[in-house]
Amino acid sequence: MERPRYIAVEGPIGVGKTALAQALAERLGARLVLEHAEENPFLASFYGDRRKHAFQAQLFFLLSRFQQQQALFQQDLFTQSTIADYLFAKDRIFAALTLSADELALYDRVYELLGPRTVKPDLVVYLQARADVLLSRVRRRGRDFERSVDADYLATLAKSYNDFFFHYDETPLLVVNTSDIDPEQNPEDLETLLAVIRRHRKGTQHYVPMATRTY
């Protein structure tokens, strides 16, 4: 496979998706697509009472991400690379984690109508980290609406992501454990990771920085 034209960077809250997506877009001269979570008017209420406001927050995310995907359909992905800080299919991770059974059934009906009409990336980069690392990074960026995020929620979310990507086979996948590196703060970590991403072409690979190898 030639160099991926459309790369999606994924992972749980605080793992560094957006920072890596921005770095990739800059290096590749690519179009950058960000989900802008802070524009969700239900997000602050969701973190205050997850059960009460989950459906509104989730549906807003689903529809706004779908609108972005439709815009991608109208652009020529072959004239310019595209980097996104989310994978559309991951939306159901949060839905399954936060919605009641009835809400999830309704959500799934909407998702099944929209999902087939989105663009699949040429490569997904999935960033992992331990819950304590995620919490530290969430606290570091200091977003007001994330103040109520705790280690238990992040641990549950991280497990849901791991379960999702363990079974993921729709596109080439690079799994990166960032627990012991920080590409956002350490330029050397970033350069090494960018080189690993450039080399990946097909299948599923895992990059474990402590082992300094891919396998």
Q: Domain ranges in the chain? A: 6-214
Q: What is the pLDDT of residues 149-189, one digit of tens each?
A: 888 889 999 999 999 999 999 999 999 999 999 998 999 99
Fold of domain 6-214: Rossmann fold (3.40.50)
Q: Quick check: is 76 catalytic?
A: no
Instruction: Tell me the chain's radius of gyration from C-alpha atoms.
Output: 17
Q: What is the pLDDT of residues 28-82, one digit of tens each?
A: 889 899 988 888 899 888 888 888 999 999 999 999 999 888 887 676 655 678 9
pLDDT reported for residue 213 = 41
| Choice among 85, 122, 163, 169 that is catalytic | 85
Q: DSSP string of 18-63? A: HHHHHHHHHHHT-EEE---GGG-TTHHHHHHSHHHHHHHHHHHHHH
Average pLDDT over the chain reads 88
Question: What are residue 32's DSSP bridge partners?
Answer: 83
pLDDT reported for residue 79 = 64
For CA atoms 101, 62, 155, 162, give the dihedral sign: positive
